């Protein structure tokens, strides 16, 4: 059962950033603006690699990841897939969906793993955001976090050496897809291949695999098939 309370933008910020243990006790039972909105939003199930949005598609709908993850990518002139972003649970995409000036998708979107996404018409989304400043603040906060992550990603790709590119990208992955701790390692909650990491940093799979082997020998990362464990603290010491 949810409690629905009228919240100002300031109230919402204080609640979602509060440190008071007493106040946090009530947060799990309080339905925040977008949560209430999503209770009446249909859900679509996607199988791994199922295409959801094509580049240049009309932006008639927006999506929010309920479970799983969605791949945002481009395709180069020679037919190679270029991984731009991995949309995680709770995130809205395409990122331009709340902007009335954007009418077409700039990228392809497909399921990274078996996933579920909320599907909402842009008209309904825009109407909701115009009349719900707390929800608009949620979207603004999400976009701000995403922009900070993108800046970090661009910085990683711009590094001159493969080792630096991959260390920064492993740190990014550990922070963004943090699972449980296994000893001193952070378990990545998302199954990743060497090709996925290569696509994120713009390297060949062969170079990525060779660099990952070296980093594994040095204790920065361990992996088995698509299961990665990352020493985030060790990477932090090496890079900063």
Tell me the average pLDDT of the chain: 83
Residue-wise pLDDT for 135-169, tens only, equals: 888 888 888 888 888 888 888 888 999 999 999 99
Gap between the Cα atoms of 95 and 63, Å rounded: 10
Domain boundaries, position 193: 161-239
Assign 29 a pLDDT band (cuts: 50, 70, 90): very low
Mean of pLDDT values over 31-36 = 70
228 contacts 196 by C-beta, under 8 angstroms: no
According to the model, what pLDDT value does residue 26 have? Answer: 35
Same domain, 117 and 169: no
Same domain, 176 and 205: yes
Of 104, 125, 152, the position where a domain reaches its end is: 152
Same domain, 132 and 38: yes
**Token pair 């006790």 is at which residue?**
25
16 pLDDT more than 70: no
% of the chain exceeding 70 in pLDDT: 87
Gap between the Cα atoms of 165 and 156, Å rounded: 5
Mean of pLDDT values over 214-218 = 95
Gap between the Cα atoms of 203 and 19, Å rounded: 42
Does the CA dihedral 98-102-105-107 come out positive or negative?
negative
Residue-wise pLDDT for 94-137, tens only, equals: 888 877 777 888 899 999 999 999 999 988 988 898 888 888 88
How many domains in the chain? 2
165 contacts 152 by C-beta, under 8 angstroms: no
Assign 32 a pLDDT band (cuts: 50, 70, 90): low
Gap between the Cα atoms of 129 and 34, Å rounded: 9
Same domain, 193 and 218: yes
| 3-7, 80-84, 123-127, 235-239: range with lowest mean pLDDT | 3-7
């Amino acid at each position: 059962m949810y409690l629905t309370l009228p919240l100002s933008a300031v109230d919402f910020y204080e609640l979602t950033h509060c440190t008071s243990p007493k106040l946090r006790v009530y947060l799990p039972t309080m339905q925040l603006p977008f949560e209430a909105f999503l209770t009446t939003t249909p859900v679509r199930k996607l199988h791994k690699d199922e295409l959801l949005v094509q580049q240049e598609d009309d932006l008639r709908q927006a999506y929010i990841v309920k479970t799983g993850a969605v791949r945002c990518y481009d395709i180069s002139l020679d037919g190679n897939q270029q991984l731009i972003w991995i949309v995680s649970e709770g995130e809205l995409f395409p990122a331009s969906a709340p902007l009335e000036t954007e009418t077409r998708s700039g990228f392809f979107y497909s399921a990274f793993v078996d996933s579920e996404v909320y599907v909402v018409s842009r008209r309904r989304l825009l109407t909701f955001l115009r009349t719900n400043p707390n929800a608009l603040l949620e979207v603004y906060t999400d976009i701000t976090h995403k922009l900070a992550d993108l800046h970090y990603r661009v910085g990683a790709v711009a590094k001159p050496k493969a080792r630096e590119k991959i260390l920064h990208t492993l740190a990014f992955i550990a922070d963004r897809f943090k699972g449980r701790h296994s000893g001193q390692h952070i378990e990545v909650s998302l199954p990743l291949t060497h090709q996925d990491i290569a696509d994120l940093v713009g390297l060949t799979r062969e170079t990525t695999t060779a660099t990952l082997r070296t980093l594994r020998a040095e204790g920065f990362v361990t992996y088995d098939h698509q299961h990665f464990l990352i020493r985030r603290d060790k990477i932090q010491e090496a890079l900063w």
